[in-house]
Amino acid sequence: MLIGFMGSGKTTISQLLGKILAKPVVDLDQAIVKQTGSEITKIFNRHGEQYFRQLEHDSLKRIITESGILATGGGTPLRADNAEILETSGAKVILLEASGETILERLKTDCSRPLAKQMAKQQLLALKQARQSHYQQCADLTIQTDKLTPKEVVAKILASLETVV
């Protein structure tokens, strides 16, 4: 299970892990889009963040029992009930961590993130900092993704998991 701030690489890394481990992959945001038939940005614009976070929680409760690899949304661990679900799932929770500069670089051309579109750079970095303790509380393992290719990140995850098993 992958957690981390937007732009940390959760979707990309989960897809690579799924291929290597021959396991199904669920991206929580994509599951919400599929369920509602509406893009995340449209959900935020029409109904607000609270509505989206409830959809996210309901989807997490439903998906958590499926086997495979789960890439959560950047805000998923913020709710206490979601954090509890993640922590008690029995799956390893891997935090993908990236520096503020890396996040800003990865997000600069991404228009699909409603919170990032609304914020100035300093606000986005402050949001990342505010979420950090929530991520760390849930994580069994932290992987720093700065200056690593997706394949290198996956190799670090696999090596770390082998030493844990």
Q: Quick check: 92 and 68 in contact, CB under 8 A? A: no
* 113 labeled part of a ligand binding site: yes
Question: Which one has a higher pLDDT value, 65 or 79?
Answer: 79
**pLDDT for the residue numbered 165:** 44
Residue 113 in this model has a pLDDT that exceeds 80: no
* 74 labeled part of a ligand binding site: yes
Domains in the chain, ordered, with CATH? Answer: 2-160 (3.40.50.300)
* 53 labeled part of a ligand binding site: yes
* 12 labeled part of a ligand binding site: yes
Three-class secondary structure of residue 153 per DSSP? helix
Quote the percentage of the chain above a pLDDT of 70. Answer: 92
What is the pairing mode between strands 94-97 and 141-144?
Answer: parallel
**pLDDT for the residue numbered 115:** 59
Concatenated DSSP letters of 100-143: HHHHHHHHTT----HHHHHS-HHHHHHHHHHHHHHHHHH-SEEE
* 131 labeled part of a ligand binding site: yes
* 8 labeled part of a ligand binding site: yes
Residue 84 in this model has a pLDDT that exceeds 90: yes
* 79 labeled part of a ligand binding site: no
